[in-house]
Amino acid sequence: MAAPSETLKSEPFTDLFERVNLLLGERQPVRPSVPVAAAFVPRAPATLREAGVSQAVMERIIMRFLLQAGSLAGRRIGMQLKLPFRLVEPVLRQLRSEKQIDLAGTTATGDCEYLLTPLGRERAQQYVEECSYFGAAPVPLSDYTASVAAQSPSLANVESEDLRRVFRGLVVSDELLKRLGPAVNAGRGLFLYGRPGNGKTTLAERITEVFGSTIWIPRAVAIDSAVIRIFDPSVHVEIEEHEATTGLQDAPEIDRRWVLIRRPTVIAGGELTMSELEIQVNPTSRICEAPLQVKSNCGTLVIDDFGRQQMPVDQLLNRWIIPLEKRYDFLNLPTGRKVKFPFDQMIIFSTNCEPRDLVDEAFLRRIPYKIEVSDPTQREFRQLFEMMCEQLRIPFDPASFDYLVQQHYKPTGRPFRACQARDILLQIRSYCNYFRLQPTLTREAIDSAAQSYFSVMP
């Protein structure tokens, strides 16, 4: 599949570190040697030019907001746009000179209040039909691209101690750690495969933490007149405002159009469809939402139960075969124009199948690491069992554990699975609660749980 023509891109991808310098107010090249979470801090713009938002976009957002709210104080409008009032005031003056808005009075603090004129209301209705967005002023795509480059997972130098730290509380063999380490350190693509119930999804969720705890993302980006929302509260966990500058030297005035979030982990399961990989336009509000791969930038995107998605595997692979190699993606705007977006996250394909049974050689080459999460050994299973006993407040008894293994595993050659320790102990607790017994590893409780759990399982 050929990549779209370079003439389609709307923002330059060259000199990204120069753009980072501009955003951070630095004159020297920024090559992050500090933790990635602190490699990028958006500083408040001094002018509209620095903010990178056109007056036309500002006017549309202000007029939509006034149409929804009625009369508003000028500083309240600035708060809505997440910009200093000194940048909003010239736009308000211009709208007033064009008879689109007028003064409604003043507040107790002397701030001017504005409302739409009949002419302005008519214009605002037209803007709402285009798109109803009236949130924070968007940032330019070039600024977003620079922020992704500065906070990329590939910049983190992951070592064995880092992996052991994020996997604390899990039973992970040294052999698995040795194989996972280089894959995570590369920050590219990874297949996690193996039998169900051995913790592939749990491992994938923990991996994000190793790249650094937080990143900055914009609430929205602007491309021409289109506004695309990046920040999604259902995916992103926002950090409290007072934490945003903790530990920063000479804490700068933060550009409030950006949000400090926990480095994201986005999980897409069997419900994944092709539409979720493209910019989606709400048919009612006409607001554009960024696709999953954009929302997961600088974090981890987990394709869980790979091979069981609603879309055919080949369709997903063809869609991503170029982005996985080039680290950028072309997305379609509502106008039909294609725009170049960063595609920079750790992508983990978690599957119960052998990767070679799902994809061809060309795709396997673009996912450089294929790691099997195998069944736990008896020693590891016992560790899991002890840990879960502690969490569920059931006293661990070595003799009872040996009884479980000898009675319900060894005779049938049943393999151990990581999830079984938790599942069996939950049934034991339910058994004891039902009979009003103190949760204990009795043979009767073990037999009841095992017979129920393994009745139709190998």
* pLDDT tens for each residue of 367-397: 888 999 999 999 999 999 999 999 999 999 9
Rounded CA-CA distance 212/362 in Å is 32
Rounded CA-CA distance 135/439 in Å is 53
pLDDT digits (tens, 9 = 90+) for 150-202: 999 888 888 888 899 999 888 888 899 999 988 888 877 888 998 988 988 88
What pLDDT band is residue 307 in, cutting at 50, 70 and 90? Answer: confident
For residue 155, the model assigns a pLDDT of 87
141-150 and 16-24 helices, crossing angle to 10°: 100
Q: Which two tokens stand for residue 190?
A: 């990874």
pLDDT digits (tens, 9 = 90+) for 347-374: 998 888 888 888 878 778 878 889 999 9
Rounded CA-CA distance 231/45 in Å is 20
pTM of the full predicted structure?
Answer: 0.81
For residue 454, the model assigns a pLDDT of 92
Would you say how long the chain is, in residues? 458
| Beta carbons of 159 and 207 less than 8 angstroms apart | no
Using the predicted structure, report yes or no on whether residue 47 has a pLDDT greater than 50.
yes
Using the predicted structure, report yes or no on whether residue 51 has a pLDDT greater than 50.
yes
For residue 4, the model assigns a pLDDT of 40
Rounded CA-CA distance 128/65 in Å is 10
Which is higher by pLDDT, 285 or 133? 133
For residue 324, the model assigns a pLDDT of 84
For residue 241, the model assigns a pLDDT of 58
Rounded CA-CA distance 247/341 in Å is 31
pLDDT digits (tens, 9 = 90+) for 235-263: 999 997 555 555 554 556 899 999 999 99
For residue 252, the model assigns a pLDDT of 62
pLDDT digits (tens, 9 = 90+) for 11-26: 333 344 344 444 443 3
Share of the chain above pLDDT 90, in %: 55
| Beta carbons of 407 and 448 less than 8 angstroms apart | no
Query: Tokens 């930038």 appear where?
Result: 297
pLDDT digits (tens, 9 = 90+) for 205-241: 888 888 888 999 999 999 877 899 999 999 999 997 5
Q: Are strands 101-106 and 214-218 parallel, antiparallel or unpaired?
A: unpaired
In terms of Cα–Cα distance, which of 46, 133, 140, 57 is closest to 91?
57
Residue type, 326: K
CA dihedral 17, 22, 27, 28 (to 10 degrees): -20
Chain Cα centroid distance, residue 308: 22
Task: Report H helices in 218-336.
Answer: 292-295, 313-326
Ranked by mean pLDDT, which of 119-123, 273-277, 314-318 comes out on top?
119-123
